[in-house]
Copies of this chain bind each other. A is one copy, B any other.
């Protein structure tokens, strides 16, 4: 029963359905039929609009990334100091809808897919780089560049690791604890750097250069 102008509606529905299906299935082995069912259309229509399953998956990741960026922009708008911006970047990654089990499961599936699909890998690299550079730009205003780079790597790894463990649902570290853990890491590292720069501070600060 063709109503004109359905294309954008269907595309969005299919992308959303893919995220949901991949999310609660936990892998890309979901069938096009299942995705289509979630979206309330026939499998053939999914192919009509996206050409292939791989393309649909790619669009889904793109959409996740767009969402993440939009959230980041919004969060950063309210932050004024570098330290606040840092916290904003951390917080965004643990926002409820990003940290929801299905979303995490979907990310995991995408990471695995990245091993086979170069396009998927490229997209995830974009995400990884963006996270690093968001952290880095704030950190560089809080400590020397070389320390900043190291702290950014550590924080990014910790964030990704907390995701991974969230995906396993074994020892569920809550959203708040995840944020606290990451914040605490950043705080301690910054303190260590500051301590090393001010050796008169009474006590030896922990070293960070172990390279």
A188 touches B164 (CB 8 A): no
A154 interfacial by beta-carbon distance below 8 Å: yes
Contact A116 B168 (CB under 8 A): no
Q: Which of B121, B156, B171, B211 contacts A128 (CB 8 A)?
A: B171
CB-CB contacts below 8 Å: A121-168 with B: 121, 124-125, 128-129, 132, 150, 153-154, 156-165, 167-168
Instruction: Using C-beta atoms within 8 Å of the partner chain, give the interface range for chain A.
Output: 35 or more
In angstroms, how far is the closest chain B Cβ from the Cβ of A206? 4
Tell me if A's interface is mostly helix, strand, loop or mixed: helix
- Nearest CB in chain B: distance from A188 CB, A: 4
In order of increasing CB-CB distance, the 7 nearest A-B pairs are A26-B115, A202-B202, A161-B161, A157-B161, A191-B206, A188-B188, A160-B161
Taking A25-B115, A154-B158 as known contacts, 14 extra A-B pairs with beta carbons closer than 8 A to each other, sorted by chain A number, are A121-B168, A153-B173, A157-B158, A157-B181, A158-B158, A158-B185, A161-B162, A161-B163, A179-B210, A188-B189, A188-B192, A191-B205, A195-B203, A202-B203
